[in-house]
Amino acid sequence: MGKPVRVLCVGGSDSGGGAGIGADLKAVHACGCYAVCAVTAVTAQNTRGVQSVFPVPPKWIAAQLDSVLGDIGADAVKTGMLMTPQAVGAVVKKIERYRLKNVVVDPVMIAKGGHPLMTNRARQALVKKLLPLADVVTPNIPEAEFLARMKIRSVEDMKKAAAVILDLGVKKVVVKGGHLPGRKTQGIVDILYDGKQYEAFAAKWRRTNNTHGTGCTFASILASHLARGENIYFAVEQAQSMTARAIQDALPLGRGHGPVNVLGIRQEN
């Protein structure tokens, strides 16, 4: 057996197992990679929403990162929930110190139920300090609206927002279209922009209430394929198709938004 492909997942825990680090680990495993992690916040959470959040002190975030990066290392990094500017700063320092590559930033700002997962100062730190180190950022529509400072109501708006976000210093932008109004009959479109051209990735709209963890799953699959040495276009295609299958096989748990299900799913060759 050759050396395992390693993906570092940085984000919050989800006690309900649907999103955050739990979703990341499952998605990385589904791609045939080995996941290591650093927990940035502990949430009391279920399918109905987030009841409480405890931010992990930045020195403990840094200690986790030093432990895994100083020994195991990482071929790619996926960041998720970074609630405070201090958490952002701790991650930025380790990305720079260890010269990490294939950095995928999922700018997790608000939980599906509406609970804020980043302070305003943390959002500012993410824009100024983390995005310039990122190879890819994967905002959904509300997150892209914040980053681009504009309303997004069409695929053309998604493209305009991607160009604005790219100017923040990130190398590539994937604006996910699942929240775009009026797409239920036309299907979902995700837009990739690399600074030179736009690429649209289309998928069918799936009627379900069980979509918890889609963003984490998408970004972790994307990071895993970059870690495997694959190009960004194939990585985004796999992220979209595997996430779509995870939504199709979502688990009807709890009384709210059930989790997507990547168990048993493997990447396409």
Alpha-carbon span 246 to 264, nearest angstrom: 9
| The predicted structure's pLDDT at residue 268 | 45
Task: With H, G, I as helix, E, B as strand and everything else as coil, classify residue 29.
Answer: helix
Alpha-carbon span 28 to 128, nearest angstrom: 28
Give the list of residues 6+ apart from residue 205 with CB closer than 8 angstroms, or none: 183, 184, 185, 186, 187, 188
8 Å CB contact between 190 and 201: yes
Active-site hit among 112, 216, 243, 258:
216
- Provide the β-strand partners of residue 52: 44
Active-site hit among 17, 80, 215, 258:
215
Complete domains list, the chain, with CATH = 6-248 (3.40.1190.20)
Task: With H, G, I as helix, E, B as strand and everything else as coil, classify residue 173.
Answer: strand
8 Å CB contact between 45 and 81: no
Concerning whether 37 is annotated as a catalytic residue, the answer is: no
**Site of tokens 């970059």:** 226
Residues in the chain with pLDDT < 50? 267-269
| The predicted structure's pLDDT at residue 183 | 56
Angle between helix axes 214-227 and 232-248 (nearest 10 degrees) is 140
8 Å CB contact between 9 and 80: yes
Concerning whether 211 is annotated as a catalytic residue, the answer is: yes
Concerning whether 119 is annotated as a catalytic residue, the answer is: no
| The predicted structure's pLDDT at residue 206 | 77
**Site of tokens 């195991």:** 72
Active-site hit among 40, 47, 119, 214:
214
> Please, what sign has the CA dihedral across residues 118, 119, 123, 126?
negative
Q: Is 102 left (phi over 0), alpha (psi -120 to 50) or beta?
A: left
| The predicted structure's pLDDT at residue 264 | 59
Active-site hit among 213, 217, 243, 258:
213
- Provide the β-strand partners of residue 200: 191
Rounded to 5 degrees, φ, ψ at 199 are: -130, 125
* DSSP symbol at 100: -
52: tokens are: 């409480």
List helix spans (H) across 138-213. Answer: 141-148, 155-166
Concerning whether 79 is annotated as a catalytic residue, the answer is: no
| The predicted structure's pLDDT at residue 1 | 64
Helix, strand, coil share of the chain (percent; to 5): 40, 20, 40
> Please, what sign has the CA dihedral across residues 202, 206, 209, 210?
negative
| The predicted structure's pLDDT at residue 267 | 44
Active-site hit among 84, 211, 217, 243:
211
User: How many residues can be counted in the chain?
Assistant: 269
Concerning whether 176 is annotated as a catalytic residue, the answer is: yes
Active-site hit among 37, 129, 176, 243:
176
8 Å CB contact between 26 and 55: no
